[in-house]
Structure formats: structure tokens, C-alpha cells
Amino acid sequence: MVIIAFFVGHWVSSIFSQTFFLHRYGAHKQFTMSKGWERFFHLLAYVSMGASFLSARGYAILHRMHHAYSDTPKDPHSPTNFSNVYSMMWATKKRYDAFAYRREQPEPRFEKDVPDWPLLDRLSQNWVARVTWLAAYTGFYFVFANHWYLWLLLPAHFVMGPIHGAIVNWCGHRYGYRNFESDDVSRNTLWFDFVTMGELFQNNHHKYAMRSNFAVRSFELDPTYQVMRVLNAVGIIKLRPLRELDEKGELIAPGMDLTDAESAETADAAAE
């Protein structure tokens, strides 16, 4: 029971950090918060993702490329470019490493205004730190795993981030339904995305990248947005109205526009 709770806790906290901090804040800046809270959630992302923490800068660059080149040959992780999920993930890792380890310079528009914390990046990329995380997970299993089959869950803790990335990037552009016609092949995989906290509303999200609620239709539910409403109400974050973003012409991310951008008025009207 303790192991199941630990597994679910790690799964949920890791994907929450990915969607809330790395994706909606880091890559899209759908909301603002003070520098202090930004550091808090950045650190929380490191603790919750642990061994498979992703650099916020590396993630933002790769993700903005995904929106700009969605499902074309220049998309860093489109399932249309690969025969299976493993080759897609391996290619994604190589592209991500190039930016996370600063070996390659991205187009300037992709790195504008990202939450950059080089010291935390270096710590998370340090092999002693990584092995310490793996040892900590294994130690926890030694103490609490009272059935042999529970050990089958252990490897998932080592690669929690890539597991979530594989589910979202593969399934979200392959399986499910579409609310909006678009040039990409994005889909909404679940009506209530309890698996990846809202990330599987890819079709809605590709249509309205700056919209903080990934659910659009009345029967859809985006759990992370519900948490964000609470954080907004208590003043920890400040959601940015689509109208403000539209005035700045930033409908994908800071400094980036959609080539076929519709006005936020239209986005609002279609979404409500």
C-alpha cells in the first residue's frame, strides 16, 4: 500500500510539475508569478521529477519548436516522423540534450524569456546526484515493498519524465478525437485526463496554445487548470487574459506568433 501511494504520488507530482511549471509557465508563460514563487516551483519540479528532471530552458526551447513546426519534418517529436515510440523518444532526447547542455544555439525566438536556472540544471545533470536519486528510490522499495511484484514498478521511477513525455507526445498526436481542424495531427486522447493532468488535450492546446484551460468543451476536464484557478484565487499566480496576449501578438509563447493567428476574441468565444 505504501509503495502504491508512493508510485501514484511520484507520478502525479512529476506530471504536475511538467505541465504546470515546465509547459504552461516555462514554455508558454500562460500566467505570471513572483520570482520567489518561480524559484519555489522550479525547485519543486526538481524534487518531484527527481532523477529524470528536465531543464526548464531545454524543455521550453524544444516545446516551442514543437508548436512552431507541429507534425512537420522540423518538429522535434512528432509521431508522424517515426515508426515507433522508442525511436521518437531517442531522437527527442538527442535534440533536448543539445539545448539543455547548451551545445547548440536555438533560434532566438525559442529561448526568449525562459525560466533559466543554470545552477539547478548543472546539479540535475550531475551523475552523482542522479545516482543518489536512483539509490533513494531503491532504498524506499527495500524498506516498504512487501511483495516481489511491487519491484516491477521501481524502474518507472528512474524514467518518470520520459514516460510522461512518451505518452503525451505519441498518444496526443495519434489517438483520440479532434475538436478543431488543423494542419497538424494533434488529438484529444481522453475526456477527463487524469493520466497526464490535462496534457492529453493536444488538439485543444495546439489550437489555443496560450489558453490556460486545456479543456474546451463542457464534458472535458483539465485537472491542472482547476489547481491553477485556486493558485490564482489565492494570489500565488496571475492568469493572463487571452485578450492581453492577443494585443501583444503572442499566441504561442513570448515573442512568438501563430502564422494563422485568430484573434483572442474568437478564441474566447469558441472556448466558452
Closest to Zn ion by CB, 55 or 202 = 202
Between β-strands 31-32 and 238-239, what pairing exists: parallel, antiparallel or unpaired?
Answer: antiparallel
Question: 111, 61 in Cβ contact below 8 A?
Answer: yes
For the bound state, the minimum distance from the C-beta of residue 6 to Zn ion, rounded and expressed in Å, comes to 29
DSSP state of 268: H
- Is 189 near Zn ion (CB under 5 A)? no
- Per CB under 5 A, the segment of 117-125, 155-163, 195-203, 213-221 that binds Zn ion is 195-203
Closest to Zn ion by CB, 157 or 187 = 187
For the bound state, the minimum distance from the C-beta of residue 173 to Zn ion, rounded and expressed in Å, comes to 6
- Out of 17, 124, 202, 213, the only residue in the binding site for Zn ion (CB under 5 A) is 202
Closest to Zn ion by CB, 124 or 202 = 202
- Per CB under 5 A, the segment of 2-10, 201-209, 230-238, 258-266 that binds Zn ion is 201-209
**Site track for Zn ion across 146-185, x = CB under 5 A:** ----------------------------------------
Query: Which three cell numbers mark 134?
Result: 536512483
Closest-approach residue to Zn ion (CB): 202
Contacts 24+ apart (CB under 8 A), 3-8: 3/141, 3/144, 3/145, 3/146, 3/150, 3/153, 4/150, 6/140, 6/144, 7/153, 7/156, 7/157
Question: 10, 157 in Cβ contact below 8 A?
Answer: yes
Distance CA 31, CA 238 (A): 5
Q: In this structure, is the dihedral angle defined by the CA atoms of residues 67, 68, 72 and 78, taken in order, positive or negative? A: negative
List contacts with Zn ion (CB under 5 A): 202
